[in-house]
């Protein structure tokens, strides 16, 4: 029981950190999104690598890379995953700093439903009647929003799809989360360094050219990236999967609160209606997953 309580604290803490992350990116709104992303990739790699060295897991990291290289399909799958999560980071940072926090929260609400769709198409998983209703509700909400905006909510859908596909790929590659993040960011770090050199040669880099506060915030993007991920990975091993499913809605709910209450983004009646439909869909979906999990336990006994 104590272990499960610790797991709950680790997982809930990770989602709270992800939920307040828009505040962090807002403090870097004076820096172009491409430079923030470039710094985030580099510093996430260096931060995770330093932590791996401190934990004396360097040999395991080298072994992981060797094993991946032997399995070319997994190697390139992880490369694609790293491209997807990098795209997700860029869209998210750009959206937050261009006052689309409400759309980012919608994206992370939709994400678990997209993940299940991937399971249906690629793993031939079956949906229960309740889950089918949840999908119809979520789809209708996205259609209502599209008509309301007068354009497709591409930020929300891009965030949901890139992160869902990233998670789908990652689940099929057995890697320690910390070392996995190091390898993912290692894939992108040469491109990030190359792009930073380009920014410096053109005189467009803010890093080391503005003030120490900005420099520190850019360097700490690495820890801001790695810390919640490590917390989640530590905690999720101690609790049932359906319990962690409840907590994944903490982050988008906090983002929505920040977007509407703190940063005064528009939130019309139509958006309220659409979000309410999505919340109803998620409640149905979550109840069905809990029921499935309990049924599986009973059958196992």
pLDDT in tens, 7-26: 889 989 999 999 999 999 99
On the question of pLDDT at 2 being above 70, the answer is: no
Per DSSP, the chain holds a count of helices (H) and strands (E) of 13, 0
Q: How many CB atoms lie within 10 A of CB 108?
A: 23
Per the structure, the complete domain to which residue 90 belongs is given by 2-300
Total structural domains in the chain?
Answer: 1
Evaluate whether 198 touches 38 at the Cβ level (below 8 Å).
Answer: no
pTM: 0.88
Cα distance from N-terminal residue to C-terminal residue, the chain: 20
The secondary structure element, H or E, covering residue 241 is helix 241-247
Token pair of 256 as six digits: 């929505």
Evaluate whether 255 touches 101 at the Cβ level (below 8 Å).
Answer: yes
Dist CA 251 CA 253 (whole Å): 5
pLDDT of residue 255: 95
- What's the chain's average pLDDT? 89
């Amino acid at each position: 029981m104590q272990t499960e309580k610790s797991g709950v604290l680790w997982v809930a803490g990770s989602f709270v950190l992800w939920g307040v992350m828009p505040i962090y990116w807002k403090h870097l709104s004076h820096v172009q999104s491409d430079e923030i992303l470039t710094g985030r990739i580099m510093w996430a790699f260096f931060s995770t690598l330093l932590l791996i060295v401190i934990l004396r897991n360097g040999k395991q990291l080298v072994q992981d890379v060797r094993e991946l290289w032997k399995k070319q399909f997994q190697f390139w799958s992880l490369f694609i995953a790293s491209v997807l999560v990098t795209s997700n980071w860029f869209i998210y940072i750009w959206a937050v700093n261009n006052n689309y926090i409400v759309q980012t929260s919608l994206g992370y609400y939709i994400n678990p439903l997209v993940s299940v769709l991937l399971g249906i198409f690629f793993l031939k998983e079956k949906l229960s009647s309740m889950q089918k209703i949840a999908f119809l509700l979520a789809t209708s909400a996205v259609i209502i929003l599209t008509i309301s905006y007068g354009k497709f909510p591409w930020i929300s859908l891009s965030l949901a799809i890139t992160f869902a596909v990233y998670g789908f790929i990652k689940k099929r590659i057995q890697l320690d989360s910390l070392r996995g993040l190091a390898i993912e960011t290692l894939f992108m770090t040469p491109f990030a360094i190359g792009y930073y050199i380009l920014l410096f040669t053109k005189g467009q880099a803010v890093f080391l050219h503005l003030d120490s506060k900005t420099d520190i915030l850019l360097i700490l993007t690495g820890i801001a990236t790695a810390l919640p991920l490590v917390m989640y990975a530590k905690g999720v091993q101690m609790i049932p999967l359906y319990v962690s499913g409840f907590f994944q809605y903490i982050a988008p709910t906090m983002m929505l609160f920040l977007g509407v209450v703190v940063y005064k983004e528009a939130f019309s009646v139509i958006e309220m209606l659409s979000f309410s439909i999505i919340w109803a869909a998620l409640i149905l979906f979550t109840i069905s997953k809990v029921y499935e999990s309990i049924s599986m336990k009973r059958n196992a006994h």
